Structure 1
C-alpha cells in the first residue's frame, strides 16, 4: 500500500472526524449520524494501516482519533442536570400534550358520571337513605367533611394525601401493563365516591362548603389522575390500532411514555398534596383558597401547552435517545 497516497486520499475524512469529535456537545442530528459513519470508516482505515505500514506516527494518530471518536459514539452521556432539564422541558410535557385527546375525553367522562350521580343523590331522598342514617348524614355534612382536612398535622397529612393520590395514579399507570383495561373501572369507582359525596353535600344545602374545600386541591389532583389514566389507555389502544408502524414498536414507545408520565406526576401530585394540607384547611377566605387552586391548575396546563407544543414543533416525541424499536420480551 502506498502510504502517502492513502493519507492523501483519506485525510479529509480524518480531519472531518476530528472536527466533529471536538464539536461533540453541539452536534446536530445529521452531524451525529455523520460522526458514527466516519468513526466506522476511520476504524477500517486504522486496521488497513496497521496491517500494511510500519509508520508508528500515523498508526498512533489514527488510534488516538478512533479512540476519541469511540468515546463520543459509545460513551458520551449528557450531564445529569441536562437530562433533568430535558425531562421537565421536553419528555414529560410533550407526552402529556400529545395525549390531550385521551386526557380531555377521560376528564369529560369522569365529570359526566360524577355530575349525574351528584344530581341523582341530591334530588332523591331514598338514595340518601341508603347511604346513611339522617344523623350520620348530618354529621358528615356539618362536621366530618370539613374536619377531615384539619384534624391531622399539615405535614403528615400532606404526605398521606400525596401517597393516596399517587396510589390512584399508580393504579392507572400499572394498568397499562394490562393494556389499560382496568382503568375505566378505577375511574368509575372514584367518580362514584366523588359524585355521591357531592350529592349528599348539595342535597343538604352545603354545596358551597363542598366546592370551597374540594376546588383548591381537586383541580390539579384530578387533572393528574386524568393524565395517568389517559396515558395508560392510550398505550392499550396502541396495541389495538398501531397505525402504519409495527405494533411492537408503537407499544414500546407508548410504554416509555407511560413511565415519563408516572415520574412527572410524582411532582404534580406532591403539589396537590401540599395545597390540600396547607391551603384547603387554612383560615384564608374561600375565594383566595379557590384562586390558589385555579392558579396551580392554570400553571400546570400552561406549562404542558407551552413546552409540549414547542417540543412537538421540533419533532420531539419525548422518547429516549437511541430507544429500542421493540418492547423487550422474556
Structure 2
C-alpha cells in the first residue's frame, strides 16, 4: 500500500470532515455531507489500521472519526439547554397533551369528594362507622390541625414530597391497567371525603378548608395529572390511533409519561414546601389560601401557555420536516 498516495487521495475528505465537526451550525446539505464523510472515514480508518505501520496517522484519523461520531450521535451530558428545553417544552407539552384526561379526573374526583363530604356531614352515624365516635371527636378537636405541626417543617416536607411522588408514580405505572388508578383515586376520595365530612358535621368546615386549600390545590392537581397521564397510556393500549400500532401508541404516550413523572417530582416538592411551611403558618387564613392559589394558578398558566405552544410545535414536527439550519453542538 502506497501510504502517501492514499493520504493524498483521501486527506482532503478527512480535513473537510474535521471542519464540519468543529462547525457550530450545519444546514441540511452539510449534515448529509457529514454523514457520508463519516462513513467513508470509518472504512478508510479500518484500511489504515490493517495495512499502515504509521501509528500517528491512525491516531489522527481515529480522533477525527470519534469527533464525527460524537457530532452525529450527540453526547449524553447534562446541560442547561437540556434542562431549559425540559422546563419550557417537554414537561408542559406532555401535561397539555393529556389535559382532557386529567381534567376529567379532576372533575370526577371533585364531584365525588364533595358528594361524600355532604353525605357524611348530613349523616353523622356514617362517620362513626368509618372512624369511630371517639376518633372523630379527637380529629375535630386537635388531630386534623395537629397533623400539620406534629413534625418539624423540613422533615414534614420531605415526608410529603416522597409520599406524593410515590403516589404519582403508582398512578403513572399502573395506568396501562386502568383499574388500579381508579382504586388509588377512590382511596383519596374516601380519605378526604370522610375527614371533611366529619369536620363539617362538627361545625369546623372553616378549619378543614382553611388548612387543606393552600397546598391541596397544587398537590391534588399533581395527582390528577399523574392519574390522567397514566389513564392516557392505558387508553393508548385499548384504542390506539388508526395511524399507529398499539405498541407505537403506548410508546408515544409512555414517553410523555416519563416527562410528566420527572416534572411532578418538582411540582410535589413545591406543594410539600407549601404544606409544611405555609399551611400551618400563624398568619390569616385568607393569606395562606392566597399564597397557595397564586402558586396553583401560576402552574396552570405555565401549562396553558407553554404547553399549548410546545404541543403545536410537536404536531408540526410530526406532520412535516421543517427546513432550515440544524443546530448541532460542535465537538470539542
State the TM-score bracket (shorter-chain normalisation): 0.7 to 0.9
* Distance (whole Å) between structure 1 residues aligned to residue 143 and residue 310 of structure 2: 46
- Kept after mapping to 1: 8 A contact 2:98/2:228: yes
Equivalent residue in structure 2 for 1:202, among 187, 200, 203: 200
Which aligned runs of 4 or more in structure 1 are off by greater than 6 angstroms? Answer: 10-16, 44-51, 58-64, 316-319
In the alignment, the residues of structure 2 paired with residue 205 and residue 69 of structure 1 have an alpha-carbon distance, to the nearest angstrom, of 71
TM-score (norm 1): 0.80
After TM superposition, the structure 1 = structure 2 runs for residues 311-330 of structure 1, keeping only pairs within 5 Å, are 311-315=310-314
Change (3 A) 1:315 1:133: closer
Where relative contact order (Cα < 8 A, 6+ residues apart) is larger, the structure is 2
Q: Mark the CA change 1:31 to 1:284 in structure 2 (over 3 Å): closer, same or farther.
A: farther
Contact kept, 8 Å, 1:91 with 1:317, in 2: the verdict is no
Q: Is the 8 A contact 1:172 1:180 kept in 2?
A: no
TM-score by length of 2: 0.79
Match of 1:239 among 230, 237, 240: 237
The equivalences for 1:165-314 within 5 A come to: 165-176=164-175, 178-243=176-241, 244-314=243-313
Q: Deviations over 1:27-54 (max 9, x none)?
A: 4678646633453366568889999xxx
CA gap of 1:79–1:276, structure 2 versus 1, over 3 A, is closer
Matches of 1:318 and 1:213, distance apart in 2? 45
Secondary structure, counterpart of 2:259 in structure 1: helix
More off after superposition, 296-305 vs 60-69? 60-69
Superposed displacement of residue 183, structure 1: 0.3
RMSD of aligned C-alpha atoms? 3.7
| Deviation of the 1:66 alpha carbon | 4.7
Q: Give the direction of change, closer, same or farther, for the CA distance of 1:309–1:138 in structure 2 (3 Å limit).
A: same
Aligned equivalents of 2:35, 2:21: Cα separation in 1: 10
Q: CA deviation at 1:318?
A: 12
Q: Deviation at 1:14? A: 7.7
Match of 1:23 in 2: 23
Deviation (angstroms), 1:130: 1.8
